[in-house]
């Protein structure tokens, strides 16, 4: 089963640029006022249309699994706002998180031993 999340963004081009230039995601225009960003078999869909009558908001953290979290952290850590630094978590993963250009918290994690 795959999962796609549709999120509101402030600006499509700013979001495209952030995910391509900062996080190294692939991006594609997928519908009117919509882009899909993808990396590591994960896919997020962004729209700048006000489908929900609210500003961008999400009360959680989006976790993406990566094969080499240390390497990925070293590539992006100086390009964006790090929400929490690379660390080993008590629940068995090594992870860090960033805040994207819309205020969403995106965590990248690698299972211990993997």
Residues 68-93 have pLDDT tens digits of: 999 999 999 999 999 999 999 999 99
Alpha-carbon separation of residue 104 from 2, 27, 60, 64, 90 (angstroms):
20, 17, 8, 13, 23
Average pLDDT along the chain: 92
Q: What's the pLDDT at 4?
A: 86
Q: Which CATH superfamily is domain 4-49+56-111 in?
A: 2,3-Dihydroxybiphenyl 1,2-Dioxygenase, domain 1 (3.10.180.10)
Can you give the pTM of this predicted structure?
A: 0.89
Residues 110, 68 contacting (CB under 8 angstroms): yes
Q: How far is CA 42 from the centre of its chain?
A: 9
Strand order in the sheet with 93-99: 61-65, 105-111, 93-99, 81-88
Domain spans, the chain:
4-49+56-111
- Which DSSP letter does residue 113 get? T
Strand duo 4-8 + 61-65: pairing = unpaired
103: tokens are: 């205020």
Q: What's the pLDDT at 38?
A: 94
Who has greater pLDDT, 32 or 96? 96
Q: Which of 101, 103, 113 is nearest to 18 (CA)?
A: 101
Percentage, residues of the chain above pLDDT 70:
97
Q: Does residue 114 register a pLDDT over 60?
A: no
Residues 36, 59 contacting (CB under 8 angstroms): no
């Amino acid at each position: 089963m795959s999962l796609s999340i549709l999120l509101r963004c402030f600006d499509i081009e700013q979001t495209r640029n952030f995910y391509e230039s900062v996080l190294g995601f692939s991006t594609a225009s997928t519908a009117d006022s919509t882009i899909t960003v993808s990396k590591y078999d994960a896919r997020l869909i962004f729209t700048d249309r006000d489908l929900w009558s609210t500003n961008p908001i999400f009360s959680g953290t989006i976790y993406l699994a990566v094969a080499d979290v240390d390497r990925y952290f070293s590539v992006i850590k100086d390009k964006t706002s790090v929400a929490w630094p690379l660390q080993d978590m008590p629940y068995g993963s090594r992870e860090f998180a960033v805040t994207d250009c819309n205020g969403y918290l995106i965590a990248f994690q690698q299972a211990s031993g993997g």
